[in-house]
Amino acid sequence: MNSKKLAAEKAVEFIEDGMTVGLGTGSTAYWAIQKIGERIKEGLSIQAAASSVGSEDLAKQLGIPLIPLANLDLIDITIDGADEVDNNLNLIKGGGGALLREKIIASNSKKFIVIIDESKQVDQLGRFRLSVEIVPFASNLTINKLRELECDPQVRSLNNKPYITDNGNLIIDCDFGKIPNPEALNGQINLIPGVVENGLFIQMASLVVVGFNDGAVKAY
């Protein structure tokens, strides 16, 4: 049973004609975009905004009408995955490197639905390294400041080269261990000059849809 697909397809049921829809990024959001593509073929009329070049390419292939982020005022509903979700609806996102656009889209959405499989549920955030997007031109200085927050910062790489985001920036994956106060850490990180954004999404989710390996789907 594909638990990511189950959660994604449940979330897509919330989309109605005329809506502006934010498209997430990652292997769970992939299934949501596929389902939206199917519904478009059945006559659903929406416009969508993508949180990454990858999701934009997928949406184009599926015939989903797209609107550039720069032309948006408000998004009705955004459906996106997460790396971790705690009991207070705080998230870690950014495993796919799209956290900046994802956070902008989520924070400008009337409804932000998070789709996960059961493995992403945690009591306290911090098992997954926290992604921090930084400008590249002063990377050592910014990484030093992140280290002062007592994490172990690692420059994300891809094919033995630094990974570059869709926005031309670096991702620093930071191991903070357990994060007892995600809201405070979010503020501390974003105050560092050179940090563009981090992957802590503090109480932004309207609904979390969880797919389970036994085929169950739960929303809360």
Binding mask 98-127 for ligand 5RP (x = CB under 6 A): xx--x-------------------------
Farthest CA pair distance, the chain: 53
User: Are 102 and 204 in contact, with CB atoms under 8 Å apart?
Assistant: no
Q: Note whether 194 binds ligand 5RP by CB under 6 A.
A: no
Give the number of other CB atoms < 10 A from CB of residue 89. Answer: 17
Q: Note whether 94 binds ligand 5RP by CB under 6 A.
A: yes
Select 97 or 153, whichever has its Cβ closest to ligand 5RP.
Answer: 97
Of 3, 20, 28, 90, the residue at the interface with ligand 5RP (CB under 6 A) is 28
- Active-site residue flag, 16: no
The rounded distance, in Å, linking the Cα atoms of 171 and 207 is 27
User: Are 67 and 73 in contact, with CB atoms under 8 Å apart?
Assistant: no
Of residues 9, 84, 102, 133, which has the active-site annotation?
Answer: 102
Q: Which sequence positions are flagged as catalytic?
A: 102
Q: Give residues in contact with ligand 5RP (CB under 6 A).
A: 24-29, 80-83, 93-99, 102
